[in-house]
C-alpha cells in the first residue's frame, strides 16, 4: 500500500475512538464555546499548578483584608509602588502569576496583569471569574 493510502487509513481509523470521545467522554469540550480571553485561565487549570502559582489579589485593600485566596499577595494599581517590592520578593521565574479581582466583569485583574507584563514578567494569567469563581469552588 502506498504511504498516502496508509496515512488515509490511519486518519479514518482515528475517527472511531474520536467519535466515541465526542459522545461519551466525561471531560469532552463543549461545542457551544468555552472561550477564554487572551491571558485568561480557568480555576481548575490554576489549581493544577499547585504551589507553582503565585496568587495576586488586584482588589482594594479592604476587600483583600476581608478575605482572599490563601497565600495571595495584594497588588493593586492604587498602592503599586508600596506593594510591588513584596511581590518581587515572592516572585521567581518558574512561578506562574495568577491575578484576580472580584468577578468576571471587573477589569482590575487585566490591568494589573498588563502592567506586570509591561514590566517584563512573563507567565502572567488572569483568573477567569475572579474571586467569585474561587468562592463558588470553595463552597
Partner 1 sequence: MEKSGKVTSSRAAGFGIPFARAGLFFARLVLAGVFIFAGAAKIDDPGQFAIEVQRYQLVPWKVCAGIAIYLPWLELLSGLCLFLKSLERGALVLITLLLSVFTLALGSALVRGLSIDCGCFGHAFVSTGTVVPILRNLLLLLFAGALWTKNR
Enumerate binding residues for partner 1 (CB under 8 A): 1, 3-11, 13-15, 17-18, 21-22, 25, 27-31, 33-36, 38-39, 42, 44-45, 48-49, 52, 94, 96, 117, 122-124
Which position has the grid cell 495584594?
74
CB 56 within 8 A of CB 100: yes
Q: How far is the CB of 73 from partner 1 (least distance, A)?
A: 20
CB 82 within 8 A of CB 113: no
Q: How far is the CB of 3 from partner 1 (least distance, A)?
A: 4
Sheet (strand 53-57) strand order: 40-41, 124-127, 96-100, 53-57, 73-74
- The residue among 45 and 60 lying less far from partner 1, judged by its C-beta, is 45
- The residue among 34 and 81 lying less far from partner 1, judged by its C-beta, is 34
Amino acid at each position: 500500500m502506498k504511504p498516502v493510502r496508509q496515512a488515509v487509513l490511519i486518519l479514518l481509523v482515528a475517527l472511531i475512538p474520536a467519535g466515541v470521545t465526542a459522545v461519551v467522554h466525561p471531560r469532552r469540550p463543549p461545542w457551544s464555546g468555552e472561550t477564554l480571553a487572551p491571558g485568561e485561565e480557568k480555576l481548575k487549570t490554576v489549581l493544577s499548578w499547585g504551589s507553582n502559582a503565585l496568587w495576586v489579589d488586584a482588589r482594594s485593600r479592604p476587600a483583600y483584608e476581608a478575605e482572599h485566596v490563601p497565600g495571595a499577595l495584594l497588588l493593586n494599581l492604587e498602592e503599586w509602588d508600596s506593594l510591588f517590592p513584596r511581590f518581587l520578593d515572592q516572585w521567581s521565574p518558574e512561578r506562574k502569576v495568577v491575578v484576580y479581582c472580584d468577578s468576571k466583569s471587573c477589569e482590575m485583574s487585566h490591568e494589573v496583569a498588563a502592567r506586570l507584563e509591561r514590566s517584563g514578567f512573563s507567565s502572567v494569567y488572569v483568573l477567569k471569574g475572579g474571586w467569585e469563581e474561587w468562592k463558588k469552588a470553595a463552597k
